[in-house]
Structure 1
């Protein structure tokens, strides 16, 4: 099945400099756009950074073996190099970058409430972050080695977090801000990309208050597999990409090499496999995020049964006891968390609904002193398990509610 990114993109291509590890990514609507993307990349590198591509290293992708492309390289004085068939390790930097980027995209989408169609924004954000953070492979950040300037990290935000964004023009009685979702960093201007759930549009703005603390405190991850790999060690392939060697300083001992993004090719005919085409067992329907969405969902009957089962279980286990509310104290609110449990074939096996407390609404010194969390934190569980192991204690059978 094919999942298009926002803007109708189905493929992407990346180029990574072997010397600095600085990377570029381009989204494409058609796999045939790869040649045009390389020419755009070459023009940007030469015009903006005064660097010159000397060598283009690829894994024998059909798009780079074409006469048109090879002639283009010859005309521009670029040496074409190919890795041997079935030896992806010869293109190791590109292979590792591919896997890292897709791992980041999976994580970013899983930890957000955004639909899978935002994989394009997640991908561009992922490579933006990799370019600005230190790496064990190079002595400085890729951004500094590539541009000569140290990057600033103060503007980085959590992908998918909500933000109050100032509206441009409003009526007198209308709200002056709108709650949107942060989805990336624009390349052509300063500011941030925001997605408006009400308008279903992505726009750029600099006037925003990010709600990162609330987002992390109220976070419930979607434990679903996103962008599954084609096989055990084959990542979803966009287009086979070359590794051009770029040189801006002829006195350098080691020439930087721009590595192309390429998948590990098991079968040559499947050179082009779009990101959407590589998704396996990915459901079309998202899990409801609110009670209203659950009741309007096609599986509303199943969600009602799941909620009833949760309530009955809480009564049976005596999760709470009714008490009088102290004067001046507000009760902790709660919310439903819904999830479809799927089998190995991707089919829904059970519908789960959990009633969770909004513990982040508590204020220290007012609602709690030392004990505050309505749920056991994972690190607390790990501490208990470590103590039990060190003292050779026997641990009985625990349930999730016993750890609450």
Structure 2
């Protein structure tokens, strides 16, 4: 793809964008646009305004004349005479650029980005209008419940014909847009352990889980760009430690022994165990085992959780034991708590 062509309806501001390999394809795309508008929406094209590009001369002008379409052309070097389309073109390019930068996607994905930007822009009310271009053009209100963040991570379920008996059932992909004339999403395969699905290929599916705060391409870019900086900072820090002898700061005040009276006693108690192994192998192992058993029995009696199968593409949360001692007033151990 080397170019794109924008067709916008003047009153509704609804626009179509076609990706072109060369400008010679402009005629074919216009014929497709004209046919779809007439058959699906029962609308007629009366006037077409364009600049003086070479793709708009014969046979393009002949097609307009044969179908009774008035072809208006702007004056030379006067893009302001077609200001609505020029401004829409600029808006789409700015959206495309922002989407590529914020997601970390490569520039060769500009076509998918500009198609998604067009898809969204048609569903946003424009200035001085409370309705969207989609509603004015299609005659019905758009739905927003299926919109996703462009460039985010998505775990796409492998299609049944390509499922392997042993191996993951999902593929890590990047969301890149919405399928044309379909309810499916478009994805770029980011990482695949399935031999039937290759990396950097595009697939369409509706069965996917989205992680709209994770951008795999952006993380990769930041990691590669930050590595040299981290190494430089680490080297400088090591040199500083080697060349300078760091001495701890000590207070110059004279320490004075304090006494709180005979009612205050001090007890030396072993530190509380930090792991399960430390607890059961310590001198208080039997007491900790009994406390663990009581805690598990309490959880089962109160139905704190229920066992379910892990959903595909999800990771379970980790946990750890926390051991605490309850002390009496005389400093002795009352019981162990989990």
TM-score, normalized by the shorter chain, greater than 0.5: yes
Query: Counterparts in 2 of 1:260-279, with a 5 A limit?
Result: none
Residue 290 of structure 1, CA deviation: 4.6
1:135: which partner in 2?
Answer: 126
- Residue aligning to 1:178: 171
Note closer, same or farther for the CA distance 1:314–1:14 as it changes in structure 2 (3 Å cut): farther
Match of 1:116 among 107, 131, 140: 107
Query: For residues 144 and 315 of structure 1, what CA distance do their matches in structure 2 show?
Result: 63
Larger radius of gyration: 2
- Cα separation, 1, equivalents of 2:73 and 2:274: 75
1:192 aligned to which of 174, 177, 185: 185
Displacement of 1:184: 0.3
Tell me by how many angstroms 1:145 deviates: 0.3
Counterpart position of 2:135: 144
**In structure 2, which of residues 6, 24, 29 is the aligned counterpart of residue 32 of structure 1?**
24
Q: What residue is the counterpart of 1:310 in the other structure?
A: 233
Unaligned regions of 5+ residues in structure 1, if any?
Answer: 1-8, 222-286, 295-302, 319-325, 329-362, 367-404
> Which whole-Å CA distance do the structure 1 matches of 2:210 and 2:77 have between them?
47
Tell me, what secondary structure is at the counterpart of 1:53? coil
Task: State the Cα deviation string for residues 305-344 of structure 1 (Å, max 9, x = none).
Answer: 54321324567999xxxxxxx947xxxxxxxxxxxxxxxx
Corresponding position of 1:167: 158
Question: Aligned partners of 1:317 and 1:136: how far apart in 2?
Answer: 59
CA root-mean-square deviation: 2.8
Greater share of residues in helix: 2
Q: Distance in 1 between matches of 2:112 and 2:86?
A: 21
C-alpha deviation, 1:48, in angstroms = 0.9
Spell out the pairing of 1:47-86 with structure 2 (5 A cutoff).
Answer: 47-66=39-58, 68-86=59-77
Contact 2:12 2:137 in 1 (8 A): yes
Are 2:210 and 1:210 equivalent residues in the alignment? yes
- Contact 2:184–2:204, Cα closer than 8 Å, also in 1: yes
Q: TM-score, normalised by structure 1?
A: 0.54
Q: Which residue of 1 aligns with 2:7?
A: 15
Q: May I ask how many residue pairs the two structures share in their alignment?
A: 237
Could you state the TM-score of these two structures normalised by the residue count of structure 2? 0.64
